[in-house]
């Protein structure tokens, strides 16, 4: 009698069904991929999604894209890549604590910013002005995954990437987790970077927020207490529920802290985080107009703008700057000192 041996993937899927929360999304319930594929013997579909995202070109480019501070020389400031990794770490911690699907959570986290522009939200705002119908990085992230890099991700992963931005309604608890983890990550690491840059101190933050988030017991730094408090509030408020959320009190203080950051760091034109944005915006705008003229020679305006937008939004900060210099900054024809000319001058002086 022939014995059917289960694959490792099948064992992992059984483990999900047995051990994950009743509210967790199981891989066996996935709506699948747009283009059907054979299953992997070793990995679940969500694990394959994670691996495809990590190996994508768009993911690698995140290391040279702005988080808040444009093109920092100090390696200790966050980039879009380190932001993505911090979102993943926070989201996985929450998912594990709530017995949610950690693989789906990780895949969404790692893919949520694939479509982000160079120069952070500054670049996004310029493309939003220039593109018919506007530009949103979450929608572009889906476009990168589905059309540009053709990753053929599961529909649940795509849904989570699309809905990570505020104002969208995620369809899984894993996607809800990433949506919250994204906010928690940038609030905390942007405060940390702003302190590192000497723009603010911890004492500048609203006192009631400082008092609330420092109430965590343990010998932690203030920033660790704040992050720990936010995560613990999500977990304690979401256990056994078909929704991932903070308590009303915790969310009130988190929102107040987020609004303070917008008023004093993100949108304050006198902030050092903003002072270079005019230059960055000009780079995006000039590149867009230049490439649009070139591409419009072969395509109609709508198609040309789409091509140019895909190209520029995929650039890193450094590549956008270098392209701008290459196109608009004159370079001398001769870039080396001619030794023969110096010898002749020396001979004439004899």
Within the chain, which residues score under 50 in pLDDT?
Answer: 1
pTM of the model: 0.92
- Answer whether 276's CB lies under 8 Å from 68's CB: no
Residue 72 CB neighbours (<10 A): 17
| CA distance linking residue 83 with residue 80, whole number of Å | 5
Q: Which homologous superfamily does the CATH classification assign to the domain defined by 46-114+149-275?
A: Hypothetical protein af1432 (1.10.3210.10)
- Answer whether 313's CB lies under 8 Å from 127's CB: yes
Token readout for 75 is 């390696």
Cα pseudo-dihedral 177, 182, 184, 189, rounded to 10: 150
pLDDT of residue 223: 85
- Residue spans per domain, the chain: 46-114+149-275
- Cα 137–138–139 angle (5° rounding)? 90
Instruction: Provide φ and ψ at 154, rounded to 5°.
Output: -65, 150
| CA distance linking residue 322 with residue 272, whole number of Å | 23
pLDDT of residue 276: 83
Residue 257 CB neighbours (<10 A): 22
Instruction: Provide φ and ψ at 229, rounded to 5°.
Output: -60, -45
pLDDT of residue 273: 60
């Amino acid at each position: 009698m022939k014995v059917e041996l289960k694959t490792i993937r099948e064992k992992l899927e059984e483990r999900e069904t047995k051990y994950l929360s009743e509210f967790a999304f199981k891989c066996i319930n996935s709506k699948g991929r747009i283009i059907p594929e054979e299953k992997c013997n070793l990995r679940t579909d969500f694990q394959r999604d994670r691996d495809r995202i990590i190996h994508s070109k768009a993911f690698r480019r995140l290391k040279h894209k702005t988080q808040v501070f444009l093109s920092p020389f100090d390696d200790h400031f966050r980039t879009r890549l380190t932001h993505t990794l911090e979102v993943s770490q926070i989201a996985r911690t929450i998912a594990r604590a709530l017995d949610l699907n950690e693989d789906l959570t990780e895949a969404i986290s790692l893919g949520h910013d694939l479509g982000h522009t160079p120069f952070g939200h500054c670049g996004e705002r310029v493309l939003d002005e220039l593109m018919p119908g506007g530009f949103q990085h979450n929608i572009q992230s889906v476009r990168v995954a589905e059309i540009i890099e053709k990753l053929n991700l599961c529909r649940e992963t795509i849904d989570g990437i699309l809905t990570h931005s505020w104002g969208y309604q995620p369809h899984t608890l894993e996607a809800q987790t990433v949506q919250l983890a994204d906010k928690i990550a940038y609030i905390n690491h942007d405060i940390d970077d702003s302190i590192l840059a000497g723009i603010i101190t911890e004492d500048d933050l609203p006192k009631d927020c400082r008092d609330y988030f420092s109430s965590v017991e343990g010998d932690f730094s203030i920033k660790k207490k704040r992050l720990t408090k936010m995560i613990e509030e999500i977990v304690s408020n979401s256990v056994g529920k078909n929704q991932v959320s903070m308590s009303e009190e915790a969310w009130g203080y988190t929102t107040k802290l987020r609004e303070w950051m917008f008023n004093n760091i993100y949108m304050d034109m006198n902030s050092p985080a903003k002072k270079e944005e005019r230059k960055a915006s000009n780079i995006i705008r000039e590149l867009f107009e230049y490439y649009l003229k070139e591409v419009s020679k072969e395509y109609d305006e709508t198609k040309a703008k789409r091509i140019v937008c895909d190209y520029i939004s995929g650039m890193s900060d450094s590549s956008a700057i270098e392209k701008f210099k290459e196109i608009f900054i004159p370079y001398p024809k001769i870039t080396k000192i001619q030794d023969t000319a110096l010898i002749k001058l020396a001979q004439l002086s004899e």
